[in-house]
Amino acid sequence: MLKTVLYVILLITSVLRLISVVFVLMMGEATHLPTRVIVLTSITVVYGLLLLVRRFILSVHPRHFIHFFIFQTAVFAYNLIFVSRTVPLEIRPFEVLVTGTMLDILVAAVAIYYCVKNIRRKKIITVGDLH
């Protein structure tokens, strides 16, 4: 159940970010976002899409989700700090999808918590079965 929820979150965030990055790139000079922010978000999208493809080829463990969500949290935190220092206050809604929000960081933190909780629960059950 947890993996399914994480796959859905991963799919929705990756696809929405991909669409918004493509839209921002099509706008060209009309956007206020620095290239650094767009590149970091694109790397996050590619990482998420690779995890989705890996699901059909190999198995994806909760630690892979933990790595992805930690990376995503770090990128969005950096984007928020960098954009707040360099870009004027006029940011359009699709640009917010590229930079990320505090809600994205909160969702990633909750996903990390449940993945860690799931891993620890399996270890406790495994150790209990050895006795």
Dist. CA 62–CA 5, nearest whole Å: 12
Asked if 98 and 20 touch (Cβ cutoff 8 Å), the reply is yes
How many angstroms separate the Cα of 93 from the Cα of each of 24, 97, 99, 116? 11, 7, 10, 32
Q: Can you give the residue ranges of every domain in the chain?
A: 2-130
Q: What is the mean pLDDT of residues 40-53?
A: 92
**Could you give the CA distance from residue 31 to residue 64 in angstroms, rounded to a whole number?**
33
Claim: this prediction has a pTM higher than 0.85: no
User: Apex CA 49: angle with CA 53 and CA 106, to 5°?
Assistant: 125
pLDDT higher than 60, residue 124: no
Q: Are 93 and 100 in contact (CB under 8 A)?
A: no
Instruction: Quick: pLDDT tens for 47-72.
Output: 999 998 988 888 888 888 889 989 99
- Provide Rg for the chain, Cα atoms: 17
